[in-house]
Amino acid sequence: MSRNFLRAETSPYLLQHADNPVHWRPWGEEALAAAKKEKKPILLSVGYAACHWCHVMAHESFEDEGVAAVMNEHFVNIKVDREERPDIDAIYMSALHLLGQQGGWPLTMFLTPEGEPFWGGTYFPKDAAYGRPGFTDVLTEVARIFREEPAKVYKNRTALTKALEEQSATARPGEPTPQVPVVVAEKLAELMDPENGGIRGAPKFPQVPLLTLLWRAHLRTGRDEFAAPVTRALDHMSEGGIYDHLGGGFARYSVDEFWLAPHFEKMLYDNALLIDLLTLVWAETKKPLYERRVRETIEWIAREMTVDGGAFAASLDADSEGVEGKFYVWSEAEIDNLFTPGEATLFKRFYGVTGEGNWEHTNILNRLARADAPVTAEEEAALDPLKARAFAERDLRVKPGFDDKVLADWNGLAIAALARAGAAFGEDEWVEMAASAFRFVMETMRPETNGHGRLHHAWREARLQHIAMADDLANMADAGVALAEATGDEGYVAEAESLIAELDAHYRDTANGGYFFTADDAPALIVRRRTVADDATPAANGTLPGTLTKLALLTGKADYFDRADEVIRSFAGELQQNIFPLGSYIASLDTRLRPAQVVLIGSVAETADLAAAVFATSCPARVLMRVADGTVLPQGHPAHGKTALDGKPTAYVCAGETCSLPVTEVDALVEELKRARAG
């Protein structure tokens, strides 16, 4: 039966295509069975709700009766939300890279009825343009080759499938040296844009794992050449058009090298990672700009991205009323009409508003002119009421599309960031936001089955979708550790341990080490991926060694150290291949090599001042635990036998097998922690 099957789905992205004349099917056994029965190739289209070019291709081709007729005649058409099915996206994006093409979305892949890729691309215009063939021409030619030249299809799909299998099965074990984090940072520093920050050239993505790696190297060594690229990038991002100066939050990336013009989609994961990095760097620099951006971005998450139950939604669209960025940009006339002449002059001067505009004859608000000359507190105070008025005016516009599905992996990133920011800035409300989201994911998205909870990846409209990927479990485990530190509640440690146990039971690669992306009982795909490479979000095998190290220190269970070492060794050979996607892995290696453990003796209330000082000190390899006076830590713990000094709340800072002398004063504790982070 031929029709569009997407209406029964929950994904906002799939529902965007439910009225297309294309006979779309969601990914699944039924779709593959239909392709086999009809002996047709599969056209796989992967995108996401906030993707501008996905909308362009939809309007040009998928809503066109003529194009849809060609698709329906020659193909079984499958539509996938990459956020809901990152496992499928990762496999076929890898196949596109193996074809020598640059990745991106929409992803357009052609598969055999068995799901094996044989050719593909990204965005295709309806008619030939931009040096790309027209989509209808592509469809008819691919269908012809599949029908008339099966040897070509067989050759391509065999080579691609074999390469994908080897990519996942290839083990590159090794023993990384302690010098790796600093040596890699030295290489990265050479590639940074000395004027605008970030990797040289355009487009510019925040690349938070790489910036975090540079910052860690600065904290270890004290070398300014590692700090400067980080602060320069954060300064320019925070003042650029990639930041929403009225509503808070960062767009996914900038199309230019100046951080001016974004694709306007705002994703939860980018903002979670940037909150974390801004907090980390603020803790050392105490720069007001970073605190302001953290506060404004968290306000945006609380106001616009929190769903009923307390979890966080996925994204806001780039488009509104079918136009990219329309919600966010301004004409000079709009600003002049909104304010008095004096107010308008002030606002336009600070936010770069001109008659000719800075993007497609409109203005993206930005303060790049002040990126290297910080706005003063007095200037910020003068601008605040004007920003509030502009925000209220903008709020009357037609808003961008809202993807309100809850993703466990992205929520894990946001929960951890909010817990750490709340602890650093002394904002209990942020920690409670994090705790509320954690409860939602653990209770709503991890239902009990036969006495065992299994985390799921996505939730929307009271429906769970898909058994968790490794990233879901890894990020939620890190979130549990962050909440345990922020609150002193050991229950979060137990929750994190249960997530690691689930990883071990269903994702562990016992042959090569590390973890597969999908569970051993998940629906079968053509390959079971195993990777350490960060993508848009950190890879589980990259983040897990750091989390496992912290769990070992919090619980005294040496098995977690062994597991961290196993993952590190399993992927060490990747350091000889390509360092760019290994930011999370190298940061985890840094944590494993030189963790700084702070043991506070006393109740949560009694040790609050000491804890606040620790949280406000930049030390990403730190783990904090609180124990009641008289508690006997395990025999192998470096703080075994340590007690409070003269009955006062007391801290010990432990590095390796050695702990500091007892510390009861805040300033002395900070100095000890800085010594420990430097190794």
Domain ranges of the chain: 6-169, 596-677
Contact indicator for 631, 650 with CB cutoff of 8 Å? no
Contact indicator for 605, 598 with CB cutoff of 8 Å? no
Residues of the chain with pLDDT below 70 are 1, 449-451
The interaxial angle of helices 491-506 and 558-570, nearest 10 deg, is 50
Q: Identify the H or E element spanning 653.
A: strand 650-655
pLDDT of 524 reads: 82
Name the token pair of 123: 């965005």
Q: How many helices (H) and strands (E) does the chain have?
A: 24, 20
Structure pTM?
0.95
What is the CA angle 549-554-558, rounded to 5?
55
> 84-121 pLDDT, tens per residue?
999 999 999 999 998 888 888 999 999 999 999 999 99
- Separation between Cα atoms, residue 471 and residue 125, nearest integer Å: 34
Cα 243 to chain centroid, rounded: 17
Residue with structure tokens 């329906």?
72
> 171-212 pLDDT, tens per residue?
788 999 999 999 999 999 999 999 999 999 999 999 999 999
Pick the CATH number of 6-169 from 3.60.40.10, 3.30.70.590, 3.40.50.300, 3.40.30.10: 3.40.30.10
Q: Which residues pair with 357 in a beta bridge?
A: none
pLDDT of 450 reads: 58
pLDDT of 103 reads: 84
Is 596-677 in CATH node 3.40.50? Answer: no
- Separation between Cα atoms, residue 129 and residue 67, nearest integer Å: 16
Same fold, 6-169 and 596-677: yes
Of 203, 275, 267, 194, the closest CA to residue 233 belongs to 194
- Separation between Cα atoms, residue 278 and residue 258, nearest integer Å: 19
Using DSSP's 3-state secondary structure scheme, residue 211 falls into: helix
> 652-666 pLDDT, tens per residue?
999 887 899 999 999
Name the token pair of 417: 């960031």
Give the Å distances, CA to CA, from 642 to 368, 630, 632, 654.
52, 9, 8, 11
SS3 per residue for 247-305: CCCECCEECCCCCCCEECCEEHHHHHHHHHHHHHHHHHHCCHHHHHHHHHHHHHHHHHC
Contact indicator for 49, 13 with CB cutoff of 8 Å? yes
> 555-584 pLDDT, tens per residue?
989 999 999 999 999 999 999 888 999 999
Give the Å distances, CA to CA, from 76 to 109, 115, 118, 147.
12, 11, 15, 14
